[in-house]
A and B are shown apart, each in its own frame.
Chain A
Amino acid sequence: MTDTAATDAVLADWRAKAQQFEMRVARAVIGQSRVIRLVTIAIFARGHVLLEGDVGVGKTTLLRAVARALGGAYSRIEGTVDLMPSDLIYHTYLADDGRPRVEPGPVLRQAENLSIFFFNEINRARPQVHSLLLRLMAERSVSAFNREYSFPALQVFADRNLVEREETFELPAAARDRFLMEISMKTPSDESVRRALIFDPRYHDVDRLLDDIGEPAFDYRSLASVAELIQNRVAASETLEAYVTKLWEALLDPYAAGVTLPDVEMRGLVRGGASPRGLAFLVRAARVRAWLEGRDALTPEDIREIFLETMAHRIFVDPIYAMRGDDIVRDLCRAAFATVPAP
């Protein structure tokens, strides 16, 4: 009993720190409270994040702000067509004495302190680079210089813009599945926020904006243990387990579950995705959300709040609907929520 009480005290303390973290990020990134909340959930669920959105909505600013508020070493790389996996690991150059040198690249340079690896415009990199990321993301380790490097605190943040199609490479399904969330970032809809973004010079200089964030709210090295504490502490009732299972069934076979979408043939719509790993990620993120809301038990709201972001990018539908983009998957998720009752 005292054990539980002690755990609860630790978690309450961390909840205050998490709120502090959100507040600091919100100083630099305004009008994106939901996106910040989702990123916070991803950090405490120890998941990797893929950001997508229009050019200039502030994806990079958000990630830099998060890196600043989180602390720890931070490394970034820009995705380009000619980027090769070895460019991430090794830095090769000709030294002053004219001899070639090989030194640790962006991933290895910070060694084990690397807390955020920020991959800008990931869809400009080739599939070879994506496959290197698979291991980095799943096992938080790489092999280089004949030994293993491990990054216990590593989180990968990547962003992709969906405006251009030339010289871009679609992320393979396996790489997408390893991201905890794909967060879509939109232009803020609130008018006062829009005005501030346009006219307030504070938001025009990103470096000065990031200085306002101040010192990290907590030690990033403790995150792994706190994340484990959260996962162990937040309980899921039998009803909730049944609910999530039914949602999963509705996604695997929407036709059998009675989920319908206008103008879509539901039989054989879902071709893949919705993996057990995806569902595990879903529950992981939902537990963090419940904890942030001050609860020690999961509710359907927790699932719903993070569902689109954790599930939509894993689900692959019949290629006949490829031209309709991601909307159809989002509609499918919404329809599943409208169909499956809870409790």
Chain B
Amino acid sequence: MRARFLALSFLFAFVAAPAAAEVKSVRLYAERGFGFFVGDLVNARLEIVADSASRLQSASLPRPGALDYRLDLRDIRVREEPVGDGLTRWNIDLVYQIFYVALDVRDLQIPPFALRFLHEGETETVRAPAWAIGVSPLREVLPQRRDDPTDYMRPDRGVAPSDAATPAIRAGAFVALALGALALVAHDRGWPPFHRRRARVFAAAARRIAILTKRGDEAARRAAMLALHRAIDDAAGRRIFAEDIDAFVAGHAEFAVAKERLIRFFASSRALFFGVADAGADLPLGEILSLARSLAAQERSAR
């Protein structure tokens, strides 16, 4: 990097006599010494080689800003690198900008500045060399006379045609993404059109029990009871036992009309499945079917 900078640079080096033993050399490199116009940036590099024990006081570096009415310091960067033999090189990259509207070719002085190094408690001041660059006017002092004063101005730069397609494609993609996300949320929350109608559990049970009724044997009666049990469980969202009928009816008011028959059904189920003796609790298949159908009708009318 340094080699390239040097290769490009017009060696504009000033070697200042080192002020003390700790600072070995101060060199300034610049791109060129002439051919600058108003508004140009001037790059320069100050290289200071000094004892590695020295510390550059960053407060002594010039601050970016206006140096005078014709020159600004735009940027300053410091980089340290060891160069061996207990020495360190400070590379200070400086960027100036010229605001001087020259009417003829002349030299512009770049003001010098001082840097302070701290070495074993001693402060040492190093002066960056003053140097000058040649600035030139952009045009002649007295231009040719024009009739229209606007002709003295150069025409505006044309408007670059902008790309309208890419933002449109991006907007489309994001709209699609947003709709997709909305669909996911709707599916998760069960919003329309993803809200599924609650299954009519008693209607399905009644259909199944109707088929079992045609078979008519004891196994069919058992299966029919199980089918109705599962339908009641599904409707309640939990397992309903005989002792839960009151709670079930309280939570599903539509089935209150069938409460007496539900009690009989559960009594019959207890007798069949758990051997709880209860006279007259032998519910025939036909009654199970009619109970299932009436529950299905309640379920339909409740919605």
Contacts and interface: CB of A to CB of B under 8 A. Distances in A.
Interface in A276-309: 295-301, 304
B242 A301 contact: yes
A343 interface: yes
Q: Is the interface of B mostly helix, strand, loop or mixed?
A: helix
A237 B275 CA distance: 6
A301 B243 contact: yes
Interface of B: 225-226, 229-230, 233, 238-239, 241-243, 269-270, 272-277
A299 B239 contact: no
Interface residues of A, number: 18
Closest 3 CB pairs of A and B: A343-B273, A239-B273, A237-B275
Given A235-B275, A343-B273, A299 B241 contact: yes
A244 to B, nearest CB: 12
A297 B277 contact: yes
Q: Count chain A CB atoms within 10 A of each CB in B229, B241, B269, B272 and give the residue with the most.
A: B241
B242 A299 contact: yes
B44 to A, nearest CB: 66
B238 A239 contact: no
A342 interface: yes
Given A341-B229, A341-B230, A300 B275 contact: no
Contacts of A342: 239, 241
Contacts of B225: 343
Contacts of B270: 297, 299
A299 B274 contact: yes
Given A299-B242, A301-B243, A338-B238, A343 B277 contact: no
Nearest to A242: B273
Nearest to B276: A297
A118 interface: no
Contact of A304 (B226, B230, B241): B241
Given A343-B226, A343-B229, A297 B275 contact: yes
Most buried by A among B225, B230, B269, B276: B276
Contacts of B233: 341
8 contacts: A235-B275, A237-B274, A299-B241, A300-B274, A337-B238, A337-B239, A341-B230, A343-B229
A300 B241 CA distance: 7
Contacts of A35: none
Nearest to A340: B239
Interface of A: 235, 237, 239-240, 295-301, 304, 337-338, 340-343
A303 B242 CA distance: 13
A335 to B, nearest CB: 10
- Choose among B238, B243, B269 the residue with the greatest number of A CB atoms under 10 Å from its CB: B243
Contacts of B229: 341, 343
Contacts of B274: 237, 239-240, 297-300, 343
A237 B272 CA distance: 9
Given A299-B270, A343-B225, 20 more contacts: A237-B273, A237-B275, A239-B273, A240-B273, A240-B274, A296-B276, A297-B274, A297-B276, A299-B242, A299-B276, A301-B241, A301-B242, A337-B238, A338-B239, A340-B239, A341-B230, A341-B239, A342-B239, A343-B269, A343-B273
A341 B241 CA distance: 10
A343 B275 CA distance: 12
A235 B242 CA distance: 18
Contacts of A235: 275
Nearest to B222: A343
Contacts of B273: 237, 239-240, 343
A296 B226 CA distance: 23
A69 B241 CA distance: 33
Contacts of B276: 295-297, 299
A12 B270 CA distance: 21
Nearest to A293: B243
A31 B101 CA distance: 100
B274 to A, nearest CB: 5
Output the residue of B229, B239, B273 with the most chain A CB within 10 A. Answer: B273
Contacts of A295: 276
Contacts of A298: 274
Nearest to A305: B243
A282 B204 CA distance: 36
A296 B239 contact: no
Contacts of A300: 239, 241, 274
Contacts of A337: 238-239
A271 to B, nearest CB: 26
Contacts of A299: 241-242, 270, 274, 276
Of A296, A298, A301, A340, most B-chain CB atoms within 10 Å = A301
B207 to A, nearest CB: 20
Contacts of B239: 300, 337-338, 340-342
A212 B73 CA distance: 101
